[in-house]
Amino acid sequence: MSENSGFHIQTVLILAIFALVFGLIHFFNKRQPFPGWVALAYSAALGAYIIDSTRHESTHVGFIFASTGLFWMFSLAIIKAIYVRCNAAFPSVLVGLILSSAITAFVVLTFVAPDISIRSVLVSVVAAILLALALPPLWKAGEKVIDGVLFGVIATVALIFVARIVVVYYLHGLSLTEQSYSQSEYAWIFHFTSGICALALAVVLLYAAGLDMVWHFHGQSNRDPLTGLLNRRGLKALFNASADQHPNGDLTRAVILFDIDHFKRVNDEYGHAAGDKVLQRVAKTASGLCQEQAEVARTGGEEFAILTGWIPFDSAQQLAQHICDSLRFVAHPELAADHKVTASFGLVALANGDSLNDAMDRADQALYQAKRNGRNQVALAQAA
């Protein structure tokens, strides 16, 4: 077996293994589409590599189109995976313009003015341009180290796709024909660099997928499965993360506890499924009104807690009152038309040295004062 044959077999196996691995990750974790797109990318790369590495002078033009299309699909699926992972809007119009222009040029260089040298340049340049489209969302999302690593690897791969053209055509002055392509220096460099780049990129993407799974399951342990809000554990982690921040001025953090009034009646009269719907709408309403000012958590059956950021205490009072006033206007189709869902609120400003439990205990006392006063209102806790 020649060295070239051994390299081709190794590359095919590597591409197949990564396509399978990413496919399995997606199969067992369908909520994360990122690995699915990477699996598609490596499946396309596998098909492109097999077709192009077995190409000869009598290869039908349809196979040439197929290998090129699959090679571009690799780049396209990679950038789609990155945009999905970064929760960014995919540039469909720009990608459509690039691909339509590239396909038109490829057809012209195949049938109208045949030139395999320029056509091979086109193949690599278009793939590089497509990959470069993955860089902006990674740059914007570059809070994590893995995002920076992905940015560097994808940028390097795109540069290699362009550099190999310069090396072969401009430094070596190589001219290709359909007859000489399969045994040419360009074909060897194309296959070698494609295999190495695919391997390097796959390793980083696999690491990113693994980190995403860890972050996802860690995040799930801090979330309430019914509402998607933080649970008590997640709220405590958030509290501890911001405990050392002390902005200047009259800013404070506040804890708002609220409890749905007469919620047991909802479950008893309409069933637990209806009660779950009510909880979800209350959670959505409260979190929507908090926006970036505060974070909402579900801390018990029908009990919720809100931890504000560093804001004036008056703003915390207004927020609590706004949520209280808004909840009774939320429609609940599962309940009788005259059944209004309300909640009682307890509000406390965090004092220096307060633990979350201390603040919640005082807010809880204020909440029960609101219930004793007639419910559907906000009560302020006594100063510590």
Q: Which residues are catalytic?
A: 302
Rounded Cα–Cα distance for residues 305 and 382 (Å)? 18
Phi-psi region of 62 (alpha: psi -120 to 50; beta: other; left: phi over 0): alpha
Contacts made by residues 267-270, CB under 8 angstroms, sequence distance 24+: 270/334, 270/335
Rounded CA-CA distance 186/114 in Å is 18
Q: Please give the Cα distance from 313 to 352 (Å, whole number).
A: 14
The answer to whether the CB of 150 falls within 8 A of the CB of 138 is yes
Q: Cα–Cα distance between 209 and 32 in angstroms, integer?
A: 9
Closest Cα to residue 320, out of 380, 231, 236, 239? 380
Instruction: Work out whether strand 378-380 and strand 254-260 pair parallel, antiparallel, or are unpaired.
Output: unpaired
Burial class (CB in 10 A: 0-12, 13-18, 19+), 261: buried
Q: Which tokens sit at 81?
A: 């995976």
Three-class secondary structure of residue 184 per DSSP: coil
The token pair at 64 is 């040439």
User: Around Cβ 353, how many Cβ atoms within 10 Å?
Assistant: 7
Q: Is 90 helix (H, G, I), strand (E, B) or coil?
A: coil
Chain CA centroid to CA 82, Å: 8
- Burial annotation 46-66 (CB, 10 A radius, 16+ → b, else e): bbbbbbbbebeeebeeeebee
Q: Which residue has the tokens 């997640």?
A: 234
From the number of C-beta atoms within 10 Å of its C-beta (0-12, 13-18, 19+), residue 95 rates as: middle
* Terminal CA-CA length for the chain: 82
